[in-house]
Amino acid sequence: MDVHKALAQHAKKQNEKYNRFLELDQMREKYISEAVSLCKDGKLFSTDNINRVTAEINNIGLRFTPERKFVTKEMVEEYTARLL
């Protein structure tokens, strides 16, 4: 019976980590969209929030999710230029 409890506890922890991953991934995409929008308008933007969330995502430690890359201003500018 203890094995079942341990497995259930492990599954619960993995589920919590995955839900946090999804939440942070959505937040990261939102920050990327905001940076791209500001860049399109020729306004100043920062990648600080994107990279803060990226670090949190990468620290979650789920084996089945790829590590996210940190974003530079140049990356945002290049992506924005391709959209135009």
**pLDDT average, residue stretch 40-45:** 97
Q: Residue 50: is it exposed, middle or buried by C-beta count within 10 angstroms (0-12/13-18/19+)?
A: buried
**What six digits make up the tokens of 10?**
């492990």
Answer yes or no: pTM beyond 0.85: yes
Whether residue 21 contacts residue 62, with contact meaning beta carbons closer than 8 Å, is answered with yes
pLDDT band of 1, cuts 50, 70, 90: low
- Rounded CA-CA distance 9/14 in Å is 9
Whether residue 61 contacts residue 13, with contact meaning beta carbons closer than 8 Å, is answered with no
Whether residue 58 contacts residue 67, with contact meaning beta carbons closer than 8 Å, is answered with yes
pLDDT of residue 4: 87
**pLDDT average, residue stretch 21-43:** 97
